[in-house]
Structure 1
Amino acid sequence: MARRSEDLRPPLVSAPDLPPHLESAAPKRGADLQASRIELTGDADLSHSTLDQCVLTGSAGALELRGATLMDVDLQNVQVTTLAAREANLRRVRITGGRIGTLDLTDARIHELELQGVRIDYLTLAGAKAVDVLVEHCQITTLDLPGSTLTRMAFEGTRCDALGTRGMRAEHVDLRGLDALAFLDVSSLRGTTLTMAQVEQLAPVFAASAGISVRD
């Protein structure tokens, strides 16, 4: 039975809880940083680190966050070629403004993530488990969600060229605010909410996936 639109639950997100004063800190692999402001320059390796109540700014060719734990972290107008957070744990993380070439959240565990006004060439949540995600006013070239488990995720005023959903498991995922030029796998859209215009756009693909030949 199809889920009624009035049952759709929005993401529950809140801003990172940051202290009034932050101490400057340098990125370091395996670091344990609290109440810190981290200025990115060159390549930065914070893999397997713990960041609690931190702000990241600046530019980096690569920002490595593999296996890191981020709690109440704000990334402000960062310019990063590759931000790799594979197998990371994110809780109340916000990325505002800036540009990211590749944002890799493969196999991440996410609880409260906001993306606001970010330009991203390639965003992947392959295999990630994410609860409460809000994407607002972003431009994304490719959004790849294969094998992800998404709960309470919504888009507002966001555009992307291609959306890949192969093997995605979704519950309360609101795609109405996502202007996608191409949906690469309509068979994995169960649990999402679309507008009537989006459904009409996808009608030929839905028909083909059901083995229906449409001819005028």
Structure 2
Amino acid sequence: MGRSRTTTRRPQLDPLAVEGFDEGVADDLAPSADLEGAAFHDLTADSLSLAGARLREALLDRVNVAVLRAPRVTLRDVRIEGSRIGSADLYDSEWDSVLVSGCKLSFVNLRGTRLRDVVFSDCVIDELDLVEATVLRVSFVRCTIARLDLQHASASHLDLRGAELREIVGVTALRGVTISPLQLSLLAPIIADSLGIVVEDEPTGPDWSGVEKPRRPPGP
């Protein structure tokens, strides 16, 4: 039997030569920073601000931050690995060729963000906010998402088959999203409720099949 075919396009991640990156320090991660070819390891902070920063060909490894404020940040060819982030405000950002792997993320605000060729792998995410986001070739691999908000999002090749989903908000924005047959069965009650569909068992009682239908009154 041949392999099943899929029309869902996978993210295309550019290879990174991280072994040649310069070792960055915490002070480099600042608002409006312009960083390229830098690696950051074992950083811990109560809060971190990267508002308007640009990171290109960068590695963030084992970064533990309680509050990350990074609206309008640009991430291009970035890897975020083995990190723990509490609240991450990343709205109105640009993500291109980004891999987030082995991370614990409590709240991720990506409202209005443009994501292209992004992979979340082996991540636990409490809440992922993609309201009004534009998503192209984004996939989740062995991830758990407690709450996913897709209201008014525009998605194309958003692959959720590798995610354990517990709650979805904005099911009317699921156009362009790929899910598995099992996920469809689990999401059916949520979809029905969102669309106002009443799902009830067939009523039990007398068999009405033999009852004569009311006749129309004669015409004039």
Identify which of 78, 81, 88 aligns with 1:96. 81
Question: In the alignment, residue 76 of structure 2 is paired with which amino acid?
Answer: R
SS at match of 1:206: helix
User: Compared with structure 1, are the counterparts of its residues 21 and 94 closer, same or farther at alpha carbon in structure 2 (3 Å cutoff)?
Assistant: closer
Structure 1 residue runs of 5 or longer lacking an equivalent are 23-36
Name the residue aligned to 1:52. 36
Question: In the alignment, residue 211 of structure 1 is paired with which amino acid?
Answer: G
Counterpart CA distance in 1 for 2:15 and 2:99 is 8
Q: TM-score if structure 2 supplies the norm length?
A: 0.84
Q: Deviations over 1:121-180 (max 9, x none)?
A: 111210001100000000111111100000000000000211111111000000001101
Name the residue aligned to 1:40. 26
Q: TM-score if structure 1 supplies the norm length?
A: 0.86
Aligned-residue sequence identity (percent) comes to 31
Counterpart CA distance in 2 for 1:77 and 1:14 is 21
Is 1:185 paired with 2:159? no
Identify which of 82, 92, 116 aligns with 2:67. 82
In the comparison of the two structures, how many residue pairs are matched?
Answer: 197
How far apart are residue 21 of structure 1 and its match?
6.0
SS at match of 1:77: strand
Counterpart CA distance in 2 for 1:191 and 1:206 is 15
Is 1:161 paired with 2:146? yes
Name the residue aligned to 2:217. none
Whichever of the two has the greater Rg, that structure is 2
Counterpart CA distance in 2 for 1:62 and 1:49 is 16
Identify which of 111, 129, 132 aligns with 1:144. 129
User: Compared with structure 1, are the counterparts of its residues 93 and 203 closer, same or farther at alpha carbon in structure 2 (3 Å cutoff)?
Assistant: same
The structure in which a higher percent of residues are strand is: 1
Counterpart CA distance in 1 for 2:99 and 2:152 is 23
